[in-house]
Chain A
């Protein structure tokens, strides 16, 4: 015991996806020393998977666009439980963040006059997504990575966090282990930024990588921070469904942005069958108008396939449930039909959606230029997370900041496609600025040795139980199965109560988990440690979902299928009580500033 290496930084950033890299770059620009820890190698974070683009009202393709329209779209998509100040800052600052990325070497597809091209996406009124084919995330993470490595940021790759360290109320560092050798490291810092991404691995069918175990959510919760909106988990409407081994892998919304249509096994475009009132004025009612929209006709309204993700996912579930699904329990997504409208459609598809073409060809033997794809919903994104101050991104715990997917507020009940990459840039940057400032204003504080000793003891306990203990992978798989089954797209009281019981049983089993082998690069041990986080976020999702007795955005209750105006006045907050148990509270929404309320009124 007591064996660890010590590192000191003014600002410690945890996570090296888009938000973490952007925060580290900005903190470094603020003149403080910055350490960056990440679970994988640099440049492998989940941002790499983002396909569609970065939403920013550059107005390059349609000059009617402005931050105000983007703001109104984001709030409408989030069903008005968003943090309106975050939505305002995001819409205002995203364009400059995209241009900044270009100045660091990112190359976006171009308009005819040589500016950044923008594409259509669900819930965005105008073509708004700056993109590079369908690999925008790779372009973004590589640009940030290659820019960041020249700024003196100290990167600690393959290093995972066990616990945040506190001095009184304040967070002053983190206890980590390096995956390669399994040695403990204590990072002392004046400010800590969490940028750990989402929680998708708590579900069986997910587009997320193994890293997405809710670490930041759980670390912050255990350090006393408040989480909000945990009931809002986004199920992306289009994941691959066949073959089984690729189930859940993302099929970009860009397919629909480029004219792809959804059909059931009878060949019907079922999305025309139910268009929500909020979107009636903006949605086309026939094939022809929808096609013209995707081809840039400014007078056409968007096709119903580009309605928000929550709605499209539920329509797909309905089709499957009512027996109109495909052989492998999905629906068809067809882009090949555009050959009826476009000369050289095959080349066009390959140029616009190269990685989709590649992915289906190699993994499913489907040529998307000739055949429809089979798709179904997949757990994709966590709207909920650490409650932060909109301007500074500081959580409810001093010295602890959060940005990107692990933070909450911007997206409300449902995130619009493309708003994630812009979220990473805008709020990653803000977190970096404010963490650096906080570090300058506050001196170093002592870490609590007894906390470190206790956390190291807990982390090593699975080795003592060895092969006699529970298999960590079995607990993980069972949790994933049950969350999928009981707290998925369609929810109800009884099932979620059952889920809580199961989570408690699994938590008891987790405390008996055993691992074999030694501490060197031992994935069994890593999984055992990740389980603590996965179980904590699963409980938070379930409890928050029980508390919200209505259906709104991504949260759909079979027993409360309608939206309740009263429930639109609060966020559900989760925090650890003094007795160590999870507490649920309702936090009334701040009244919206009149000028912003007026923008929403005008855009209705």
Chain B
């Protein structure tokens, strides 16, 4: 059985450092297995989040050798074992302890997005009719597991800390899912432009690259939302019409 070296960030909200561990690597192991093994055998109080261990809940996000990944979906054999594997918490969020960060801002920001508002039912019995194509169009966005890796790599949040101005890629995907929902009739353009700051995204596509669900965040969610805002606010004909109507 091979052994692997780990450098795991240990610390709290004030300070921290890397601790080194060695552990056995069995066939098929993922980074989460190794970290849990270290926790059980060598560092009982090592803090991390995890739940499903199958890439479905988005809890075990971390930066592995500098790359934002889900620990449960990162195979050990895809990492070079001749050097220590470095595991750190997400850097865009305030540290809590070890690999755990304070991601509560994402939950608060989500509440500011106007909720789903369906059109009146299509049938007498209070139900709606939709085609599979209509449903498929938004399924991509609804696959999101809220791992917040996209938030972690977004320059606006990570480097510039503009959480107050821009809600980040995850909530752009969330807004896109609502805006393109076949039944939704709410208008979120004003919020997108102002409170949620869609203009801050400068399309570097870093979020798309790290998404474990392979959601094409920038092209399929953010750019169409930018276009929606442009149509609403910057279309000259529309603006003339609004002026004439006294809006």
Contacts and interface: CB of A to CB of B under 8 A. Distances in A.
B4 to A, nearest CB: 13
A209 B139 CA distance: 25
Contacts of B162: none
Interface in A503-551: 515-518, 520-525, 527
Given A115-B129, A521-B100, A471 B56 contact: no
A246 B28 contact: yes
Given A138-B145, A477-B40, A107 B181 contact: yes
A363 B181 contact: no
B142 interface: yes
A243 B57 CA distance: 21
Contacts of A359: 54-55
Given A114-B130, A139-B142, A150-B115, A355 B51 contact: no
Interface stretch (B104-112, B152-160, B192-200, B216-224): B104-112
Interface stretch (B42-50, B202-210, B228-236, B237-245): B42-50
A412 B178 CA distance: 39
Nearest to B104: A157
B56 A110 contact: no
A244 B27 contact: yes
A362 B44 contact: no
A147 B56 contact: no
Interface string A101-129: 01111011110011111000000000000
B185 interface: no
B104 A362 contact: no
A463 to B, nearest CB: 11
B73 A209 contact: no
Given A110-B131, A471-B44, A516-B45, A523 B39 contact: yes
B44 A516 contact: yes
Interface stretch (A42-50, A220-228, A304-312): A42-50
Contacts of A146: 110, 115-116
Contacts of B128: 102, 114
Contacts of B118: 103, 105
Interface size range of chain A in the complex: 35 or more
Interface residues of B, number: 61
B56 A245 contact: no
Interface in B116-169: 116, 118, 121, 126-132, 135, 138-139, 142-143, 145-146
B104 A109 contact: no
A49 B143 contact: no
Which of B40, B54, B178 has its CB near the most chain A CB atoms (within 10 A)? B54
A459 to B, nearest CB: 16
B52 interface: yes
A449 to B, nearest CB: 30
Interface in A58-110: 99, 102-105, 107-110
Contacts of B103: 41
B28 A40 contact: no
Given A46-B51, A523-B39, A524-B44, A142 B142 contact: yes
B188 interface: no
B52 A209 contact: yes
Interface string A149-186: 11000000100000000000000000000001000000
Given A211-B51, A245-B26, A249-B54, A99 B44 contact: no
A206 to B, nearest CB: 10
A558 B33 CA distance: 35
Contacts of A491: none
A518 B132 CA distance: 53
B58 interface: yes
A104 B117 CA distance: 8
Contact of B51 (A44, A244, A521): A44
A473 interface: yes
B135 A43 contact: no
Contacts of B201: none
A149 B30 contact: no
A108 B143 contact: no
Nearest to B138: A107
A25 to B, nearest CB: 13
B132 A520 contact: no
Nearest to B174: A146
A147 B115 CA distance: 7
Interface string B1-37: 0000000000010000000000000111110010000
Nearest to B145: A138
A117 B115 CA distance: 25
Contact of A180 (B55, B59, B75, B96): B96
Contact of A149 (B33, B44, B111, B143): B111
A83 B129 CA distance: 36
B104 to A, nearest CB: 7
A517 B12 contact: no
Given A102-B127, A359-B55, A364 B28 contact: yes
B18 to A, nearest CB: 17
B27 A523 contact: no
Contact of B48 (A49, A115, A523): A523
Contacts of A301: none
A142 B100 CA distance: 22
Given A40-B51, A114-B130, A363-B28, A105 B45 contact: no
Contacts of B138: 107
A250 B111 CA distance: 32
A55 interface: no
B142 A473 contact: no
Nearest to B30: A245
A139 B47 CA distance: 29
A209 B12 CA distance: 25
Contacts of B26: 243-245
A98 to B, nearest CB: 10
A256 to B, nearest CB: 19
Nearest to A143: B116
Interface in A362-398: 362-364
Contact of A42 (B46, B51, B107): B107
Q: Which are the 4 A-B pairs with shortest beta-carbon distances?
A: A243-B28, A517-B45, A524-B44, A114-B129
Given A110-B131, A180-B100, 11 more contacts: A44-B57, A49-B52, A99-B126, A133-B139, A180-B96, A243-B29, A246-B28, A249-B53, A362-B75, A473-B44, A520-B12
8 contacts: A40-B49, A44-B57, A99-B126, A242-B28, A243-B26, A522-B47, A524-B44, A525-B45
Interface of B: 12, 26-30, 33, 39-41, 44-59, 73, 75, 96-98, 100, 102-104, 107, 110-111, 115-116, 118, 121, 126-132, 135, 138-139, 142-143, 145-146, 178, 181-184
